[in-house]
Amino acid sequence: MQPTDILPHREPFLLVDEVTEVSPGKRARGRWKLRGDEWFFAGHFPDRPILPGVLMVESLAQLGAVAVLSDERYSGKLPVFGGIDKARFRRQVLPGEVLEMEVELSHMSARAGTGHGKAVVGGEAACEVDLMFVMVDL
């Protein structure tokens, strides 16, 4: 499945390249392949490019949105951030690496939800975060 089949995000702010598994309203798995020519690497940091942690969190949130929006109960809605808790960055992510991501939704209602996201590179933990979102009308 292509992320653009479900997500409203587009370049340069689409931070999921591939969705590999979806269980609507429950979980999603996917990848973000960092080519090295992405806009943020030029300034973060010019002599040592590193993926900003906040963009790892956003990529996990986008993947979580795939799980939410795949559930027909949320047709015509858009999940937006309501909160970010317990974000932990375990490893730097560099150009050329692939971020393997998984988001598990833990609570869903008509107006909001929560989930937990994990991102790994080469089997090594890169980021973990608890996400909260609210639903808004498109």
Q: Hey, which residues are catalytic here?
A: 44
Contact 131, 116 (CB under 8 A): yes
> Measured on CA atoms in the order 79, 81, 82, 85, is the torsion positive or negative?
positive
The region, left, alpha or beta by phi > 0 then psi within -120 to 50, assigned to residue 15 is: alpha
Q: Which helix (H) or strand (E) holds 53?
A: helix 53-69
